[in-house]
Structure 1
Amino acid sequence: MVAETLVPGVTVNEVAHRHGLKANHLSSWRTLARKGKLVVPEVVGAEFAAPLSTAQAVDTPVATATIDLLIGPVTVRLDAATPAARIAELAMALQART
């Protein structure tokens, strides 16, 4: 059945319907065949798309920098992207309270 779906112009839906299956079940088998986990007999006219080799994106750890304002017993930790004007405002406000 999987091999039948590889013939150009034939849809998974029509093959599934012809064999009394749900299309998603047949699609699962096609996925297994594509991954080499299911043997599919050769059918004349069948075309299987060559697997594409794509690089997997790797999550690179991002260093998180912080700015610590230490004024007396108070510590305020800010993100490094905090604008300088905002940091100055906070520093002055903290200093005024001590």
Structure 2
Amino acid sequence: MSRLDHTFDPKDEAIQRIEVITGGGERRRRWSDDEKAEAVEESLRPGVVISQVARRRGLTPQQLFTWRREARQKAAASDGVPFTPVIVEPRLTPESKAVSVRPHVIELDIDGASVWIWRDADVAMITAVIDALKARS
């Protein structure tokens, strides 16, 4: 019989030793739905590294990816609208709003340079800018 033959014939060789490997006594950890949901929620935050979340929680990244996939499937199958976080920003005060949407009166395009002249612009400044653009062209 060749060494590459994977069949066992008891007449060819006598069994010298048999080794029995047991599970080592560790039980599988059971995760509650709340623990799974917390881990999935943490892993979905922007900038989070999945393997770090998994390591912190005593999981493998594959287990966490499985939970994420199951959560997506559950959300897609539900009749309700999925939860979407909302961030409420403070309202702009009338003064800050007026500064950000200041309307311009005149727009000049000279040789690819655009100049906007505002309603309250200084005449001397406008003249200097136009003279500089004329000199450049």
TM category (shorter chain) comes to 0.3 to 0.5
What's the TM-score once normalised by structure 1's chain length? 0.37
What's the TM-score once normalised by structure 2's chain length? 0.27
Highest RCO, 1 vs 2 (Cα 8 Å, sep ≥ 6): 1
